[in-house]
A = this chain, B = another copy of it.
Amino acid sequence: MTSTLGFAIMAVLARGARTGYELATAMSRPLGYFWTAGHSQIHVDLQKLLAADLVRFEAEHGPGPQGRKVYHLTPQGREALRDWVTEPPRSRPERDELVLKSYASWLADPEQVAELFRERLAEHEARIAEYERQQADFEDVPAADRPAFGNYATLWCGLSYERHRAAWCRWMIEQLGAGS
């Protein structure tokens, strides 16, 4: 069974061939489009995708203990990815540490909690500015059958998410200041 990370790898490879290292930098935190993974796990999953013949690689002489391996999707890989897209997502559990902290925030000093949310707000605002810059680089919304549509769709979601999150932080800060 292909893991979700396996499909994330294939989704990146569908745009062009990559080495494991390039996949890892693309999916590294904190940015990593929308799905993050360390290089160690990526190499493990690449082995599984290889075994299932969903990807293959061209070996090249280059850096690394085993040389350089440029991975690409096989036709079966592309088909598996396309089929997976329209399957309903297995819902990942909703686990948000900041939300949990807000749930327990009544126990703590309001000013310290407010400070926590001011820091998070600054992060969200920085990300909003960054995403808006990226969105401005698109002249129009790409057509739905272009790879660029995927980039635009995730960017739209990310921007909307950051705005929602920033609004919540501002509301929290306001509430925590109201009692003083």
Contact residues of A with B, CB < 8 Å? Answer: 4, 7-8, 10-11, 14, 29-30, 32-37, 78, 81-82, 84-86, 88-110, 112-113, 115-116, 119, 141, 143-151, 153-154, 156-158, 160-161, 163-164, 167-168, 171-172, 175-176, 178-179
Assess the A153–B102 pair: CB atoms within 8 A. yes
A168 touching B179 by the CB < 8 A rule? no
CB distance from A29 to the nearest CB of B (A): 6
State the CA gap A37–B95 with chains docked (Å): 9
What is the copy number of this chain in the assembly?
2
Tell me the bound Cα distance from A89 to B99 in angstroms.
Answer: 10
* Nearest residue, chain B, Cβ from A110: B144
Please name all residues of chain B whose beta carbon is closer than 8 Å to the beta carbon of A179 when the two chains form the complex.
Answer: 143-145
On whether the beta carbons of A172 and B145 are closer than 8 Å, the reply is no
- Could you jot down 5 A-B contacts, CB within 8 Å? A88-B116, A88-B119, A105-B153, A144-B178, A144-B179
